[in-house]
Structure 1
Amino acid sequence: MDGLMDVVQSILGAGPSVMLPIIIFIVGIIFRVPVKKAIISGITVGIGMIGINLVITVLTTNVGPAAQAMVERFGLNLTIIDAGWPAVSAGTWAQPIAAVMIPVILIVNLIMLALNRTKTLNIDIWNYWHVSSVAATGYIVTKSFFFGILCGILFTIIIQIIADKTAPKVQEYYGLEGISITTGSAQGYAILALPVGWLVDKIPGINKLDVKPETIQKRFGIFGEPMIMGIIIGMFLGLLGGYDFIGILKIGMNMGGVMFLMPRMVKILMEGLIPIQEGAQKLLQSRYGDREIYLGMDAALATGSPAALSTGLLMVPITLFLAVILPGNRVLPFGDLATIPFFAALVVPSRKGNILHSVISLTVVMAAALLMATNFAPVITQMAQGIVKFPDGAAQITNLDTGGNFLKWIFLKLSEVVASIM
C-alpha cells in the first residue's frame, strides 16, 4: 500500500500541466485520433492549463492577502481555521484508502459509460481527490475500509449524474462544446444554489434586475468591460483590506488582468480538446448512432467567464461578513476564499450570467456552508493531523471546499449513522 501511495503521490505531484497532456494523448489514441494530432492536442491542453494556473496564481496571491488584511482589520476571532483545499487534499491522499480510489473511480465511470448510464468520461484525474476525500471520511468515521470504498463509489455515481445534467447549460453559457464539469466542489455548492436561484428568480422586483456583464457594458459603457469590472472589484477588495492608495491600484490592476487573461487561457485549452471531442463523437456515432459523450473537466474552465469571476470575487467580503454574524459558526474563512469562483461554476450558467442572482444564491448557500464546515472540522482535523502544518493558534482546521460542501457533508452524516449502529 505504501508503494502504491508513493506512485500515486509522484504522479499527482507532477501537476495537471503534466498529467493532462498524457491523459489527453491516451484518450485520443483510444478514440482513434491520429497520433500526431493526439500529441499536439495533449501539449496544447497542457500549455492551456499552465496559462490557467498562472492566472489563478495571480488571483490567489492577491485575494489571499486582501482577505487576511480584512480579517486583521475587522478583528475577526474565530476558533476553526479554513486551511484551504491544498491542506485537505494533502490529508486526503495520506489516507490508506485514497490510492485505491483512483482505479475504482475509473472503473465505475467506464461501467456507467458502457451501460449508457452517463455521457461523461471524467478525465480530470487531478480532482479525483474530491471522491477520495469522501471515501476517507467514511473510513475515518466508521473505521471500515469497505464502507469508505462504498462512499467513494456512490459519490462517483452522483458526480457523473450531476455532470450530465448540468452539461447542456455549461456548454451553452460558457461555449465549452462537449464538456461537462466534474469538480466535486462546484457540484456540492450547485446542488443547493440551483434551487435557491430558482426561488430568487420568483422574487418580485429582484427577478427583473438583469445584472449581466453584457447589460452592465451596455448601460455603463467602458465600466462594463470585463477588465474594468475586475479593476473595480479588485480596488474594492483592497479598500476593505485597508490598503494604501498604491496597494489599491495594484490589486485592482491584477484583478483586471485576471479578467482579461483567463478567457484567453481557457480558449487555448479548448483548442487542444476539440480534436479529442470530435474523435470521441465520431467513434461513438459509428458504434452507437447519435450517442453523445462529454469530457469531464475542471471547474477552472468556468473562470474564463467574467460573470463567474465577478460572482466569486464579490463573495469574498460577503463570506467574511457572514462568518462574523452567523450564529453557530466557528470557522474563520481564509484558505478557500480565492477558490469561491470555482464554487460559482455551475451556478452562474443556471442564472444565465446574472451576477446579482448568482451572488444572492451563493450567499444563502455560503451561510449553510460555514455551519457545515464547522460541523466537519473534527474529521478534517483528524484527516490532516501529522500531514499538514496547522496555522498558528488553530486547534482545529476545516475548509469551504470539503467542509462546506453539501454533498460531502451528507456522506459525513451517513457515516456517523453507520458508525453508531456498527
Structure 2
Amino acid sequence: MNVIDYLLDLGASVVLPVFIFLIGLILRVKPGQAFRAGLTVGIGFVGINLVINLLVESLGPAAKDMVKQWGLDLNIIDVGWPATSAIAFGSAVGALAIPIGLLVNLGMLLLGLTRTLNIDMWNLWHIAFTGALVTIMTDNFVLGVITAIVHAMLLLVLGDLSAKHISNYYGYQNITFPHGTSAPYYLIALPLEKLFNRIPGFRDWKADPETIQKRLGIFGESTVLGLILGILIGLLAGWETKEVLNLGVKTAAVMLLLPRMVSLLMEGLIPISEAAEQFVRKRFPGRELYIGMDSALAVGHPAAIAASLIMVPIVLAMAVIVPGNQVLPFGDLATIPFIVCMMVPIFRGNVIRTVIGATISLAFGLLLATYIAPLFTTAAKNAGFNMPEGAAAVSSLVDGAVPTTAIFIFGAKLGYAGIIGIGVLTLVAAYIMSRRHFRTEQKGEAAEG
C-alpha cells in the first residue's frame, strides 16, 4: 500500500512516462526511442493539465457568480472530480483499486476477453468510487470489492466497443478510453443517434465544427467560437466588461491550445502504438491491441469544447427546473468535456446533437447525484473530507451523475445476486465480442491466403 500511495503522490505526469517506457521495452522498442516516447507523453500530459486547469480556473468563478446572479439555492454541493477521486481513493476499497484494475486487465487479456491494455492507472478511482458507495450502502466490504472488480471489467468491455469509433473520428489508431466518466455516455449516444436519424428534417442538420465554420466564416472558427461562448458565459455571470473579455480570450485560448497539447501527447504514443500493433501481429496474427488512455486526449476536440461551454448555463438552469433535484452544479461544470467527449464520435461532431444528448443525460444525472448524496457524504466524512461551509450534503457530476453509478447502486440492492449478475452479463458481452473478432480475423487471414 505504501508503494501504491507513493505512485499516486508522484502523479500521472511522472509515473505515466515510466509506464510508457517500460511498455516500450516489453514491445521491443529501442531504449532511446522508448525513453523519448515516455518523456514526450509526460510533457504532453503536463500541457493538457495546464490548459484544463486554465479552463477550470476561468469557468469556476464564472459558474459561482452565475449561481449568485440567478439566485440558485440548493443544499447539495457538487464538490468536483478532484475531491471525488480523493474520497474514492481514501476509502477501504480505494486502497485496492489499482491492484484490482491491474489483475482484472491481465486476466481478461490472457483469456482473450479484452483487447484493451489500460495504462491509465489514476482513473481507477472510478471503480473505487462505486465500490465505496456499495460498501457504505450494504455495510458489506466484500460486495464493495466485487463491485470494483465488475466495474473494471465493464470499462474494459466499453474500451473495446468504442475503439473503432475513436479511431474513425479522432484518428487515434489502437487507442481507446476505458474512462469511468466518459465511456458510459458512449452507450447513451448510440440509441440517441439512431433516434435522431429517424426525425425528419432534424436528421439532415449538420452542425459539426467544419460545417459551422463554412457557414459562419470567421465566426465559426474554433477560437472565435470559444471567444463568443466565453463572453456569453461572462455576461450571464453578471461580470463587468473587462472580466467578460478576459474570460472570452481564455476560452479561445483553450480551444486553440488543448488540441495542440493532445497532438504532442499523441506524438509520444505513436511509436508505442505502432510497436504494440507489430508485437501482437507477430505473435497473434490478425489480433489487435488497444492502449487504454485518459479521455483527456478527446476533450480538446472543438466539438467537445463548444458543446461543453454551451452546457454550462443549461446545466445550471436544469438544476432549478428538474423536479426533485437538490444538487447545485459547481465543481464539475468545467469538466463537462469529459462527459461529452465520447458522445462526439457517435454524433460525428454534431454540436447540436451532442448538446441534446448531454442535456438528456445530465437531467437524469442530477437526480442520480441527488439520490446518492447521503452515501457520497458518508464516504466523504469517512475519508476525512472537510465539508463546504453551509452544505448539508455533497455529491458530484463526476461520477455522481454517471450511468454506471446507477447500475451498480441499484444492482447492489439485490445483494450479491445483483452485482454478480452484472458481472456475468459483462463477461458474456466480452465473450461474444471476442468470438466476433476471432471470426473477423479468420476471414481476414483466409482473404490474405
TM-score computed with the length of structure 2 as normaliser: 0.90
Alignment partner, residue 127 of structure 1: 123
Is the CA contact (8 Å cut-off) linking 1:213 and 1:226 kept in structure 2?
Answer: yes
- Give the match for residue 200 of structure 1: 196
Q: C-alpha deviations, 1:191-216, integer Å up to 9, x for none?
A: 32332233233222222211111011
**Quick check: 342-351 or 190-199, which moved more?**
190-199
One-letter amino acid matched to 2:178: T
- Matched residue type, 1:250: N
Between the aligned partners of 2:72 and 2:414, the Cα distance in structure 1 is 34
Q: Is the 8 A contact 1:319 1:366 kept in 2?
A: yes
Residue aligning to 1:317 = 313
Residues 1:114 and 2:110 are matched in the alignment: yes
Which residue is equivalent to 1:398? 395
Q: Number of matched residues?
A: 417
- Runs of 4+ in structure 1 displaced over 6 angstroms? none
Q: Provide the rounded CA distance (Å) in 1 between the counterparts of 2:277 and 2:52.
A: 31
Q: What secondary structure sits across from 1:303 in the alignment?
A: coil
Q: For the residues of structure 1 that align with 2:3 and 2:279, how far apart are their CA atoms?
A: 32
What runs of 5+ residues in structure 2 fail to find an aligned partner?
419-449
| CA contact 1:188–1:408 (8 Å) conserved in 2 | no
**Are positions 1:218 and 2:219 aligned together?**
no
The within-5 A match list for 1:280-299 is 280-299=276-295
Contact 1:142 1:419 in 2 (8 A): no
Call closer, same or farther: CA 1:133–1:183 in 2, change over 3 Å: same
* Deviation sequence 1:104-148 (CA, Å, 0-9, x none): 211111111122211110000110111111222222222222211
User: Equivalents in 1 of 2:377, 2:154: separation in Å?
Assistant: 26
Are 2:405 and 1:408 aligned? yes
CA–CA distance in structure 2, aligned partners of residues 213 and 391 of structure 1: 39
What's the CA shift string for 1:373-405, capped at 9, x where partnerless?
Answer: 000101111111152222111111000111101
Q: In the alignment, which residue of structure 1 is the partner of 2:363? A: 367
Q: What is residue 91 of structure 2 aligned with on the other side?
A: 95
TM-score, reference length from structure 1: 0.96
CA–CA distance in structure 1, aligned partners of residues 170 and 201 of structure 2: 27
1:416 deviates by: 2.9
Unaligned runs of 5+ in 1: none
| Partner SS, residue 413 of structure 2 | helix
How big is each residue's C-alpha offset from its partner over 1:150-180, in whole Å with a ceiling of 9 and x where there is no partner? 1111111110111111111111111212110
How far apart are 1:297 and its partner, in Å?
0.7
Give distance in 1, aligned partners of 2:27 and 2:177. Answer: 20
Deviation at 1:415, TM superposition (A): 2.0
Aligned twin of 1:384: 380
Residues of 1 paired with 2:5 and 2:384: CA distance? 13
**Partners in 2 of 1:137 and 1:419 — Cα distance?**
15
Does residue 52 of the first structure (1) align with residue 24 of the second (2)?
no
Within a 5 Å distance, the mapping from 1:344-359 to structure 2 comes to 344-359=340-355
Q: Indicate the larger mover: 226-235 or 100-109.
A: 100-109
Alignment partners' CA distance in 2, 1:378 and 1:123: 32
In the alignment, residue 98 of structure 2 is paired with which amino acid? Answer: I
**Among residues 171, 174, 183, which one is paired with 1:175 in the alignment?**
171
- The residue number in structure 2 matching 1:139 is 135
Q: In the alignment, which residue of structure 2 is the partner of 1:148?
A: 144
| Identical pairs, percent | 45
Residues 81 and 399 of structure 1 are in contact (CA less than 8 Å); yes or no, is this contact kept in structure 2? yes
RMSD over aligned Cα, in angstroms? 1.5
**Structure 2 residue 5 is matched with structure 1 residue 9:** yes
CA distance in 2, matches of 1:79, 1:287: 57
Aligned to 2:330: 334
Is the CA contact 1:88–1:383 (under 8 Å) kept in the aligned structure 2? Answer: no
Q: Which residue number corresponds to residue 158 of structure 1?
A: 154
Partner amino acid, structure 1, of 2:255: M
Q: Assess if the C-alpha contact under 8 Å between 1:55 and 1:262 holds in 2.
A: yes
Q: 1: CA distance between counterparts of 2:321 and 2:189?
A: 21
Deviates more, 1:7-16 or 1:153-162: 7-16
Aligned equivalents of 1:128 and 1:302: distance in 2?
Answer: 18
Give the conservation status (yes or no) of the 8 Å contact 2:299–2:338.
yes
Mapped contact 1:52–1:262 kept (Cα < 8 A): yes
CA separation in 1, counterparts of 2:13 and 2:148? Answer: 26
1:76: which partner in 2? 72
Match for 1:254 among 247, 250, 253?
250
Residue matched to 2:442: none
The answer as to whether partners of 2:162 and 2:186 remain within 8 angstroms in 1 is no
Residues 82 and 400 in structure 1, CA contact (< 8 A), matched pair in contact too: yes
| Deviation per residue, 1:220-241 (Å, 9 max, x gap) | 1111111111111111111111
> What is the match of residue 180 of structure 2?
184
CA distance in 2, matches of 1:359, 1:199: 15
CA deviation profile, 1:317-356 (whole Å, cap 9, x unmatched): 1000100111010000001111101111110110000000
